[in-house]
Structure 1
């Protein structure tokens, strides 16, 4: 790292392999989706409804987190944030916030659809962003495996409603 009066120059080596911590922190948060969908189907009734609500809120929290990740990465993008990074961040934020509002308005199906759209967006756009230098390189390998867990679980949850 070099610091001078005009700014700072960073030299970074970024591995293509998914770091072990990102494996744990990437797949660990997917487990509540699976557990929530299973609980909704198995428990049914009031407990099943609670599982649906908690799973949808978890999904919204994760999608909002991804929005923040996208914005955070944009701060370190060479040449500054790109329009694609900002547009993706806004889209993920709007979908996540929309899901929270849909849960609050007891519109679980709408919340699930918004979350499915958001996680599909992450699965498609993060590998593209990784190849363009707008996201960590390992996102190209992680997201296409990670996001279908959330999507399939949310589809199962939607089918249970």
Structure 2
């Protein structure tokens, strides 16, 4: 690192491999999606509805967190934040916030669709951003195997909601 009166210059080596901590912190938060979807399907009545609601709230929290990750990464992008980074962050935040509002207003289906779109965007856009230098290189490998866990669980919830 070199620092002068005008600022700081960082030289960073970023591995393409997914760090073990990113695997743990990447897949750990996906487990409540799977458990919640399974519980919503298998539990009847109030416990099943509670599992559905808690899973959707978890999804909102994770999507809002990931929107912040996108913004945080943009602070370290060479040349400053790109339009794509800011647009992606805003889209993810809007979808997470919209899903949260939908849960509060009792529209689980709307919340689920917002979350499906948000996590789908991450699955598609993060690998592209990684190749463009707008996200960590490891996102190109991690996101395509991480996000389908959330997407499959949310799709199962949407099927459950459509049957109700």
TM range (shorter): over 0.9
Moved over 2 A (4+): none
CA distance in 1: counterparts of 2:35 and 2:159, whole angstroms: 15
RMSD: 0.4
Deviations 1:51-108 (A, max 9, x none): 0000000000000000000000000000000000000000000000000000000000
Secondary structure of 1:3's partner? strand
CA distance in 2: counterparts of 1:157 and 1:46, whole angstroms: 15
**TM-score normalized with structure 2 length:** 0.98
Q: CA deviation at 1:158?
A: 1.1
Matches within 5 A, 1:6-155: 6-155=6-155
CA distance in 1: counterparts of 2:115 and 2:151, whole angstroms: 8
Aligned pair count reads 161
- Name the structure 1 match of 2:157: 157
Q: CA deviation at 1:139?
A: 0.0
CA distance in 2: counterparts of 1:50 and 1:44, whole angstroms: 10
Secondary structure of 1:34's partner? helix
Structure 2, unpaired ranges of 5+ = none
CA distance in 1: counterparts of 2:120 and 2:21, whole angstroms: 23
Structure 1, unpaired ranges of 5+ = none
